[in-house]
Structure 1
Amino acid sequence: MLQWSARSPQLWHEFVNHEVCVTNRDQQRFEGRMFTVDPVSASVVLLSVQENERPSVRVILGHAVTDVQILRRGTEETERQMKV
């Protein structure tokens, strides 16, 4: 399997706007909606929104990412919400 940081930006973009589970090299898992991927470092920016709470943002450094899996596909509505 190709390491996350070795993949192309076009492949990373396929995960944007979807709810994902990111696993790092310490086997920690982080879930959230992928907001973007830094094209230089391969770092992942996750956005988590809980009801009646402020959104939280988490950055997982690209060199530490070992796996990314889509949990739920984003919709046009979720894409619109992320642009606001």
Structure 2
Amino acid sequence: MLPDIAIDGNWVDIGSVLTGGLYMLYRHFTSPMTDRRFLSKQTGMYFANGSALFPLILMVCSVASSSIVRSLLDASRISLAVAGCFALFAILEK
């Protein structure tokens, strides 16, 4: 059995912003040369998609410990809502 893990909401938000920034930079520099404008709608979507990844990864890890789920729900509802919306849109996309 895993020990109880307390997750602070600030760490979830910081992890989301860092993941979003790293994903945005990765997608920006690996995109074709014709789409290399940094200030664009597409770059904003890259950041939003990347910021949804961190809470989704934590939700996958929540199978190991119910305290992770409780901590996530108590600490960072906005991050979970954003992650849930992007996951829902990904499922509903054709």
TM-score by length of 1: 0.28
Ranked by relative contact order (alpha carbons within 8 Å, sequence separation 6 or more), the top structure is 2
TM-score by length of 2: 0.26
Higher share of residues assigned helix: 2
Higher Rg:
2
Higher share of residues assigned strand: 1
